[in-house]
A = this chain, B = another copy of it.
């Protein structure tokens, strides 16, 4: 499916030199970040060097154009986000494959996080629920595993990290450090649907074990419950241990709260930080969405996360510090803001916006690192688009959305109305159900932002599979 496109810096250099020196032009932008991050500077940096030493991939799960705009507008129209510091931008298509007994595999326009994650992690399309394996309908097929960007980095002797606000065994973090036919097979006790893939059956075991077996240097997120499950007897030397005990046996430093993470200073031993049993607590809380006009506009409560759970920005900062320490060979780090998606599914506008803002703070940490480590490529994108839409606060009667709406008071003091309506049909002649069911993903292209060596390749319209080449274009 892919075609090779040759980029010749020589031609660029000659052409630009021919343009003559001394010409200057002024352009303006209402984006104040442009003062210090002008387009030319970003472009020249990316033009000169196509091969990063370090790669940081940040995934805003479900963060389509509506979601990023909702966060931007909530924070104030003249108060740009950190992601707005990134000048090299494009769009990626995200279609996955439909299950079939054999090729051809046909397009599925509304993908999940497993198939989309597999795209940038491996460069290949697969079916929904599949983690870094091809689309074959058979389980545990020899050769089905697709090499991931994290594995490519490890083969080159680079350090690696995997950070998420979800269970770290959830689909998006799983795609870099595991291969399994169904995303649900996360812990030793969750393998019923992946019976041929247990270690006892000669397979690689559940996602939790695979992440540890991959010896990823920094693993930070939720999902402690999966790692506290006991590995069954007959699974090899770790049978009878929990996955945590297995990790500690492999040399992992294990922490379970923010203070523990702060205390880690040894960058020469791997780190496993699991801060909640399930997904990490969302940053913000607010009113429930409802049918019709929705609530009187209110501001979100921004203090929902307990202090013993680190923020995504804190996990990102710590991961960068550990991965970069005395490291000549570079690193590969994936960071996921997971609950943008989960709160969009849940029609929780404040939850969704708070997670987007928290994710944006992690982007800020990555960009600050990139500034002092210009050999670093930072790529930000979403895995797929989602449901929330910004609509008019003035609608009334039948002009109101059919679904679930919330009215927020933005930091500019204005009403920001979000609506969710991709699930909740009540039946023929019936109103939508009162308690909104999980909303759907949507199919629109997702935004992509990049900065640093190799960034130019995200410009224009590409597919999420193309991102694999971008994030593995490591220094030679």
Binding site for B on A (CB under 8 A): 1-32, 34-35, 38-40, 42-44, 47-51, 64-66, 68-70, 72-73, 77-78, 80, 83-84, 86-91, 93, 95, 98, 106-110, 291-292, 385, 387, 389-393, 395, 397-404, 410, 412-414, 416-417, 419, 421-433, 437-438, 440-447, 449, 456-457, 459-463, 465-466, 469-470, 473
User: B443, A391: Cβ atoms under 8 Å?
Assistant: yes
Q: Which residues of B contact A20 (CB under 8 A)?
A: 13
Shortest beta-carbon distance, A188 to chain B, in Å? 31
Q: How far is the CA of A414 from the CA of B403 in the complex (A)?
A: 27
23 A-B pairs (CB sep. < 8 Å): A1-B78, A2-B29, A3-B30, A4-B26, A9-B19, A13-B20, A16-B17, A16-B44, A28-B469, A29-B460, A30-B463, A30-B465, A66-B443, A69-B93, A72-B445, A73-B443, A88-B459, A88-B460, A390-B443, A399-B425, A400-B425, A402-B402, A421-B422
Closest 6 CB pairs of A and B: A390-B443, A421-B421, A400-B425, A87-B460, A65-B444, A19-B48
Please give, as numbers and ranges, the residues of chain B lying within 8 Å of A49 by CB-CB distance: 19
CB-CB < 8 A to A401: which residues of B? 402-403, 421-425, 440
Whether A39 pairs with B414 at a CB distance below 8 angstroms is no
Residues of B within 8 A of A429 (CB): 431
B9 touches A447 (CB 8 A): no
> How distant is the Cα of A34 from the Cα of B23 in the complex, in angstroms?
30
Cβ-defined contact, A40 with B456, below 8 A = yes
Q: Chain B residues near A42: list those with CB within 8 A.
A: 459
How near does chain B come to A312, taking the closest CB pair, in angstroms? 21
Q: How many copies does the complex hold?
A: 2
Which one, B3, B10, B47, B432, contacts A29 given CB within 8 A? B3
* Shortest CB distance A39–B (Å): 5
- Asked if B5 contacts A12 (CB within 8 A), the reply is no
B22–A69 touching, CB < 8 Å: no
A437 is contacted by which of B110, B398, B425 (Cβ under 8 Å)?
B398
List residues of chain B with CB within 8 A of the CB of A393: 109-110
List B contacts of A64 (CB < 8 A): 65, 444
A399–B440 contact, CB under 8 A?
A: yes
